[in-house]
């Protein structure tokens, strides 16, 4: 109960602080509330990170403890931090944001006082007075009266601990974290420097994806003494060291040079004066310890804590200022800029300061010759909107990401699917690199080898299933036009729908590259979704190998993540309108415009729509394909925004999915959305703000800015009365990327 009371006090402190900030003029970075999405399974975190930085340093509060709201082992979580938990066990380094599976979140750094404890159940502490801003996080550990602060550079972190007078300790726990791996190695280089390696991997429980992260830890004050610990495992039938020690941990205070094994750590002991500050640096690399040291040396050389934080803050200010908004409420601005912030966390740069990086699915180390090498490609999520946002507003980032994907194909023989720190996890389904690169290319983004990309796409689209790492059921797909249900829960319909979207994009790319024959083949494939449509049920329905429908079928089965035949993480209603590339053709199949619209509206009215589910993420925008129905898009989008995106820890509807939910909010708050991946166009909806200015890369787009202006006499107006594009009346609710960019100025009149 005491922990909960402290947390409620913290909630009031946080939001009163936000109210105080709002009274003075803010920089855009000050609108970001990193606590948004840290509950309700949003799985974001308030830790310190730079835009697309490899390093993130995050408060870790999800280890099992009766003091936490959810008393679970840390590996139950897919995030290092949950807002309503109160039991702090250190700062984790290199973390994932908004994902649905546990991984990384390791190298736990913890300050303590009093008697030395190395069991996290003993040394963990409640905390208060949390403060988070882009590039900075702080709290006070109530069990020790220690103030903790962290900030970050691209590849390193800096922690500052303010201790009370007395015996104090700094711990680095290498055994715990979100990863399923517990093995590590540590070596003492000097009294103030320790180096080592920690195993990570098995993301989404894929055993093949295991890899090391290398680190260098330095303290800026020499400890009185230091040592290692190792968690001992009990033995039966023999007298064990564990029995002799009468405990689970063995301390090595006489100091060996190094230590390797499972569940190990290092402790540093101090006698501190009142309010004495000790700083701890951490550099990381996925190449080597030496590179981790070089990353740390170069990025933090002669810099104070304040200098590093100010540089991180300025980097966020520059990135977030690419879009400025006027009008709307303070909460609207906070929701918007926090969403934009979340879209710029992943993918992350991977190469070290010397340009070296690990090649994908290989033990080779390569050196980058230009730009950035990126990692953490959650493409099943981000192909729908994150990369469209990057293409429009941050084209140089997107260009480097495309180069990275093509390089991955050259290194591994396949485009990435869900790549993580140069390992392929094969999580989720589909062939998502195709719409990502096609979308950017058709919008005019250049500077990469599109022919090599097409070679990769053609390979995944045509290779037999048994040899196809991206489309393992491609044999069915090619010969039957659909993927047959061969096991009760094999996600067959979900797989095929993703292939249809990918093949439609591939057909568009083939046509643009002058490959008319290929374009015809892939376009025809993309229309085979029709095979799944069951007029009796009015939904898509799993097909058996003989071409008949699955007999026992409930379109609602699959709600709340229960297993559902043919569908992954959802039910038939979450997938039935996931045919963004042939909306008008699909309407004819359903019986016409009215039948399509009525059924789609029913999905919203009966709450079958899931705002946190990627396949139905663009449902609301489909109304605008039909004359006289666009008002439904505007109404439903506003309703989704209002009900699901809030200035609260619960302010994202489920996993942010490395920025996907946030990108949905960003686009819809500024008034247009890319509802068909691989199609260079957008659907208009009513903006939340009176004026939005997007600073464009003139070299790329030929324009300095794009302005969307909202004209309305009523703050509650949400239905579009008319649109002007480039000063002229515009008579459609859809617009191509080229039209939008060339116009430079869009006026949307609301009623």
Answer yes or no: is 455 within a domain.
yes
Answer yes or no: is 513 within a domain.
yes
Alpha-helical (H) ranges within 117-266 are: 120-123, 241-245
What are the CA-CA distances from residue 221 to residues 3, 117, 241, 278, 475 (Å)? 33, 21, 34, 6, 63
Domain with 546, as residue range(s), is 376-750
The confidence score (pLDDT) of residue 65 equals 80
For 156-184, how does the pLDDT look when each residue is reduced to its tens digit (9 = 90+)?
999 999 999 999 999 999 999 999 899 99
- Spatial distance between the Cα atoms of 556 and 545, rounded to a whole number of angstroms: 23
Last residue of a domain, one of 317, 338, 359: 317
pTM over 0.85: yes
Answer yes or no: is 9 within a domain.
no
The confidence score (pLDDT) of residue 76 equals 73
CATH of the domain at 247: 2.70.98.10
Label residue 255 by pLDDT band (50, 70, 90): low
pLDDT of 15 higher than 70:
no
What value does the mean pLDDT of the chain take?
93
Same domain, 416 and 288: no
Provide CB contacts within 8 A for 505, sequence distance 6+. 434, 435, 438, 439, 581, 677, 678, 679
Same domain, 267 and 397: no
- Domains contained in the chain, number: 2
Same domain, 508 and 419: yes
Last residue of a domain, one of 317, 339, 368: 317
Answer yes or no: is 331 within a domain.
no
| CA nearest neighbour of 506 among 432, 426, 399, 428 | 432
Answer yes or no: is 365 within a domain.
no
Same domain, 461 and 593: yes
Mean pLDDT is lowest, of 64-78, 311-325, 732-746, for 64-78
To 5 degrees, how large is the angle CA 555–CA 560–CA 561? 85
Same domain, 673 and 535: yes
Same domain, 509 and 647: yes
Determine if the peptide bond prior to 314 is cis (ω within 30°): no
Same domain, 102 and 241: yes
Same domain, 311 and 447: no
Label residue 8 by pLDDT band (50, 70, 90): very low
Last residue of a domain, one of 302, 317, 332: 317
Answer yes or no: is 175 within a domain.
yes
- Spatial distance between the Cα atoms of 657 and 44, rounded to a whole number of angstroms: 9
Residue carrying structure tokens 């399974």: 41
CATH of the domain at 547: 3.30.2080.10
| CA nearest neighbour of 712 among 747, 668, 676 | 747
For 549-584, how does the pLDDT look when each residue is reduced to its tens digit (9 = 90+)?
999 999 999 887 789 999 999 999 999 999 999 999
């Amino acid at each position: 109960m005491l922990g909960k009371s402290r947390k409620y006090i913290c909630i009031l402190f946080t939001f009163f602080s936000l109210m105080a900030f709002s009274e003075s003029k803010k920089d855009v970075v000050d609108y970001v509330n990193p606590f948004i999405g840290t509950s309700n399974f949003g799985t974001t975190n308030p830790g310190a990170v730079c835009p697309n930085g490899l390093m993130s340093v995050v408060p870790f509060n999800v280890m099992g403890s009766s003091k936490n709201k959810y008393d679970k082992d840390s590996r139950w979580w897919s995030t290092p931090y949950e807002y309503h938990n109160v039991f702090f066990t250190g700062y984790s380094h290199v973390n994932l944001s908004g994902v649905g599976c546990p991984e990384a979140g390791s190298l736990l750094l913890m300050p303590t006082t009093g008697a030395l404890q190395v069991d996290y159940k003993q040394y963990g502490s409640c905390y208060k007075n949390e403060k988070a801003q882009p590039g900075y996080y702080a709290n006070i550990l109530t069990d020790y009266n220690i103030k903790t602060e962290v900030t970050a550079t691209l590849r390193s972190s800096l922690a500052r601990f303010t201790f009370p007078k007395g015996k104090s300790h700094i711990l680095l726990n290498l055994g715990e974290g979100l990863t399923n791996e517990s093995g590590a190695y540590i070596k003492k280089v000097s009294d103030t420097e320790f180096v080592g390696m920690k195993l990570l991997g098995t993301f989404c429980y894929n055993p093949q994806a295991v890899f090391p992260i290398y680190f260098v830890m330095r303290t800026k004050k020499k400890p009185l003494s230091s040592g290692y610990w190792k968690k001992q495992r009990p033995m039966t039938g023999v007298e064990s060291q564990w029995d002799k020690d009468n405990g689970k941990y063995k301390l090595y205070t006489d100091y060996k040079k190094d230590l390797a094994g499972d569940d190990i750590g290092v402790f540093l002991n101090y006698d501190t004066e009142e309010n004495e500050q000790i700083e701890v640096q951490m550099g990381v690399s996925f190449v080597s310890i030496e590179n981790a040291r070089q990353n740390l040396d170069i990025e933090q050389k002669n810099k104070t804590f304040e200098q590093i934080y100010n540089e991180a803050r300025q980097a966020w200010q520059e990135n977030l200022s690419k879009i400025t908004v006027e009008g709307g409420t303070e909460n609207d601005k906070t929701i918007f800029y926090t969403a934009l912030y979340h879209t710029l966390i992943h993918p992350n740069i991977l190469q070290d300061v010397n340009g070296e990086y690990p090649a994908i699915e290989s033990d080779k180390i390569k050196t980058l010759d230009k730009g950035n090498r990126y990692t953490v490609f959650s493409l099943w999520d981000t192909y729908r909107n994150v990369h469209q946002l990057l293409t429009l507003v941050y084209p140089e980032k997107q260009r480097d990401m495309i180069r990275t994907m093509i390089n991955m194909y050259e290194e591994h023989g396949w485009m990435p699917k869900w790549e993580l720190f140069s390992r392929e996890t094969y999580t989720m389904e589909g062939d998502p690199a195709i719409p990502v690169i096609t979308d950017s290319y058709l919008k005019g983004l250049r500077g990469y080898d599109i022919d090599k990309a097409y070679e990769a796409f053609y390979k995944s689209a045509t290779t037999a299933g048994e040899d196809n790492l991206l489309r393992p059921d491609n044999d069915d797909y090619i010969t039957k036009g659909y993927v047959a249900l061969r096991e009760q829960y094999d996600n067959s319909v979900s797989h095929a729908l993703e292939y249809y979207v990918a093949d439609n994009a591939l057909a568009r790319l083939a046509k643009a590259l002058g490959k008319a024959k290929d374009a015809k083949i892939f376009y025809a494939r993309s229309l085979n979704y029709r095979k799944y449509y069951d007029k009796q049920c009015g939904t898509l329905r799993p097909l058996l190998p003989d071409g008949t429908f699955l007999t026992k079928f409930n379109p609602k089965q699959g709600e709340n993540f229960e297993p559902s035949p043919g569908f992954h993480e959802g039910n038939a209603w979450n997938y039935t309108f996931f045919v963004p590339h042939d909306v008008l053709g699909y309407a004819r199949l359903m019986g016409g415009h009215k039948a399509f619209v009525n059924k789609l509206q029913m999905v919203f009215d009966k709450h079958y729509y899931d705002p946190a589910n990627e396949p139905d993420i663009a449902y609301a925008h489909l109304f605008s394909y039909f004359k006289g129905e666009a008002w439904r898009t505007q109404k439903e989008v506003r309703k989704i925004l209002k009900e699901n995106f809030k200035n609260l820890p619960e302010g994202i509807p489920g996993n942010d999915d490395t920025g996907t939910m946030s990108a949905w909010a960003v686009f819809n708050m500024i008034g247009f959305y890319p509802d068909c991946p691989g199609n260079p166009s957008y659907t208009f909806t009513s903006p939340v703000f009176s004026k939005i200015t997007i600073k464009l890369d003139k070299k790329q787009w030929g324009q300095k800015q794009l302005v969307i202006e909202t004209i309305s006499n009523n703050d509650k107006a949400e239905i579009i009365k008319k649109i002007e594009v480039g000063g002229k009346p515009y008579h459609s609710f859809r617009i191509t990327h080229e039209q939008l960019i060339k116009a430079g100025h869009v006026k949307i009149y609301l009623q």
